[in-house]
Structure 1
Amino acid sequence: MPKVGMPEIRKPQLVKATMAVIDRVGLHAASISLISKEAGVSTGIINHYFGGKHGLLEETMREILRQHSYSITTQLKQLPVDAHHQRINAIIDGNFVGFQAENQVVKTWLAFWSYSMHDVQLKRLQRVNEKRLLSHLKIELKALFATENISSEQADLVAHGIASLIDGIWLRGTLNPQGIEAEKARAIINDYLDKQITFYTQKL
């Protein structure tokens, strides 16, 4: 975490520089020297306010998570509370369009995703993001499934299914030269959701 007193103008500047360097040379080669040069600041500033590279990496991931959460919650606030299909699509879009689909952000996300398996703090942040996604999905799915007399336990299973599809499609998109196709992602996930609703209603 950055120390209290870190000039607000420096945070986005350093986060942007960190993502640019990761995009260019990868996470492991993204040294404090390269990041400070990219940002036009001294290495001492990064060490003073973030305690070194790891602290800056953590703040960069936090900023990506903040932007991700803001994008989804902003879209949800603009939709009626009972428009569950639309709200689920807003959650899906939040993972595939806008800030999250920018090339530098995608590469940084992918690097952190891999690195978090070996870093306790980054793993914790990744789990926070996972729980937030599942929470958004479960709220909408339980309300939607209730109108179809489908149980909340089944809604939980579908929420995990959609989250898995989001992760898988996102990962495939990052490794695809054409990038992430948000429209296709939405079509695949909605097809899965429709089939799940049909399956569970036919069992009633």
Structure 2
Amino acid sequence: MPKVGMPSIRKPQLVNATMSVIDRVGLHAASIALIAKEAGVSTGIINHYFGGKHGLLEETMREILRQLSNTVMSKLKSLPSDAHQQRINAIIDGNFVGYQAENKVAKTWLAFWSYSVHDPELKRLQQVNEKRLLSHLKIELKALFDKEQAEIIAHGIAALIDGIWLRGTLNPQGIDAVKARLIINDYLDKQLTFYSQK
């Protein structure tokens, strides 16, 4: 967590520099010296405000998660509370459009995702993100399915989001939000048909 009193312009500058360096050289090679050079600051600034590379990496991941949460919440607020399928699509879109789909953000997210397996704090942040996604999905799905079905389908949609996002990030053409929506809605339609026939 950055120290109180850090100039507001410095934090986004350093977060953006971190993502640019990770995009260029990868997470392991993203040294404090390279990030400081990219941001046009001294390494002392990073050490002073973030306690080193690890603190800056945590803040970068928090910023990506904040942006994701803000995007999803903004999309949900613009929709009626009973437009459940539209609201599910808004949650899907929030994971595939805008900030999240930017190449350097996607590459940074991918690097953090793999790194979080071995880092307790990054793992905790990833778990918070997963719980938030499932919670948003279950709220909408419980209006369409019973509780147990909603739970299973929420995990299915989350797995599709993760899988499509991962494949899109590794694809030189990037993430195709339209295709993601089509695939996930096809899955959701099949679930609606299946459970309505039981």
Post-superposition shift, 1:7?
1.1
Q: Aligned Cα RMSD in Å?
A: 0.6
Query: Which residue of the partner structure matches residue 191 of structure 1?
Result: 186
Q: TM-score, normalised by structure 1?
A: 0.96
**Structure 1 stretches of 4+ moved >4 Å:** none
Partner of 1:158 in structure 2? 153
1:128: which partner in 2? Answer: 128
2:58 maps to a residue whose letter is E
Question: Equivalences for 1:88-103 in 2 at 5 Å?
Answer: 88-103=88-103
> Residue 139 of structure 1 aligns with which residue?
139
TM-score (norm 2): 0.99
Aligned twin of 2:50:
50
Letter of the aligned partner of 2:85 in structure 1? Answer: H
**1:171 aligned residue (166, 173, 198):** 166
In structure 2, distance between residues paired with 1:36 and 1:121? 23
State the secondary structure of the residue aligned to 2:111: helix
Question: What runs of 5+ residues in structure 1 fail to find an aligned partner?
Answer: 146-150
Identity across the alignment (%): 83
- Counterpart of 2:54 in structure 1: which amino acid? H
Cα distance in 2 for partners of 1:144, 1:202 equals 14
Paired residue secondary structure (1:144): coil
Give the C-alpha shift of residue 164 in structure 1: 0.3
Q: Distance in 2 between matches of 1:183 and 1:59?
A: 30
**Structure 2: gaps spanning 5 or more residues:** none
User: In structure 1, how many angstroms separate the alpha carbons of the residues matched to 2:66 and 2:165?
Assistant: 18
Give aligned pairs, total: 198
The 2-side partners of 1:15 and 1:144 are apart by 40
Looking at structure 2, the residues matched to 183 and 144 of structure 1 have their Cα atoms a distance apart, in angstroms, of 23
Q: Please give the alpha-carbon distance, in whole angstroms, between the structure 1 residues aligned to 2:23 and 2:196.
A: 46
Could you tell me which amino acid in structure 2 is paired with residue 79 of structure 1? L
